[in-house]
Amino acid sequence: SQQGEEDPQALSIQEGENATMNCSYKTSINNLQWYRQNSGRGLVHLILIRSNEREKHSGRLRVTLDTSKKSSSLLITASRAADTASYFCATDSQGAQKLVFGQGTRLTINP
Amino acid sequence: NAGVTQTPKFQVLKTGQSMTLQCAQDMNHEYMSWYRQDPGMGLRLIHYSVGAGITDQGEVPNGYNVSRSTTEDFPLRLLSAAPSQTSVYFCASSYGNRGGQYTQYFGPGTRLTVL
């Protein structure tokens, strides 16, 4: 079963615009992570936010977490062509060793 | 460090054949996992290990076996390949709960086709 559900499934924007993608989950978590996957590659960790945090920044990335709504969002500011990828959220509701991934948001940045 | 390595990168099998997907990491990580990724879907956990000699089932374990005799290696065995096992397989490792380091490091994947 998929714990995280990303929205939208696909997003296409112009270079320089901001991209926002959302993740909802069903059961309580200790932390939530976001990963990026370039076409044909493995996943790369972007950022982790703990359940007692509401917002976290890393470069052009901003992640928010609302545990009352069981949702998280990933904002990429000033998008670049190199940001074109699929983005996945992952939760540890079943334990740190059993991450559960959502289906992902496919982001396309148009030059 | 090489990180997480997987071999082979591509494999074609016939129904009923068996094979082993290799995974190795050189980061002294405790946790290792195998996932499969089907088109348009996220990753689903097949099996995982929290240390040498310790393995457990994930969400979709049927048709797969694992063992973990060393910290570095975590091979995935397909016992009798079926077309439903056509997928991309990813191996991942992490420090686990040590110091709250939950980040998983992924290998490049093995693309498997079963005819």
**One pLDDT digit (tens) per residue for chain A, 111 residues:** 445 688 899 999 999 999 999 999 998 888 999 999 999 899 999 999 999 999 999 999 999 999 999 999 999 999 999 999 999 999 987 777 788 899 999 999 999
Q: Quick one: what percent of chain B has pLDDT higher than 90? A: 87
CA distance linking residue B77 with residue B55, whole number of Å? 13
Q: What is the mean pLDDT of residues B4-8?
A: 97
The two three-digit tokens of residue A69, written as one number: 């709504």
A99 and B103 within 8 Å at the Cβ level: the answer is: no
Helix (H, G, I), strand (E, B) or coil at A2: coil
CA distance linking residue B88 with residue B90, whole number of Å? 7
Helix (H, G, I), strand (E, B) or coil at B99: helix
What is the average pLDDT value for chain B, to the nearest integer?
93
Nearest to A45 among B4, B42, B103 (CB): B103
User: CB of A36 within 8 A of CB of A43?
Assistant: yes
Summarised one tens digit per residue, pLDDT across range B28-53 is 999 999 999 998 778 999 999 999 99
Nearest to A45 among B44, B104, B109 (CB): B104
Residue type, B5: T
The two three-digit tokens of residue A67, written as one number: 């545990």
User: CB of B78 within 8 A of CB of B61?
Assistant: no
* Chain A residues touching B105 at Cβ < 8 A: 45
- Rounded to the nearest angstrom, the minimum Cα separation between A41 and chain B is 5
Question: Can you give the pLDDT at residue B88?
Answer: 97
The secondary element (H helix, E strand) that includes residue A31 is strand A31-37
Q: What is the mean pLDDT of residues B18-34?
A: 95
Residue B26 has pLDDT above 80, yes or no: yes
- Rounded to the nearest angstrom, the minimum Cα separation between A22 and chain B is 15
Q: Nearest CA to A86 among B35, B43, B10?
A: B43
Summarised one tens digit per residue, pLDDT across range B50-97 is 999 999 999 999 999 999 999 999 999 999 999 999 999 999 999 876
Question: Can you give the pLDDT at residue A10?
Answer: 94
User: CB of A106 within 8 A of CB of A10?
Assistant: yes
Nearest to B104 among A40, A99, A103 (CB): A99
Question: Can you give the pLDDT at residue B41?
Answer: 76
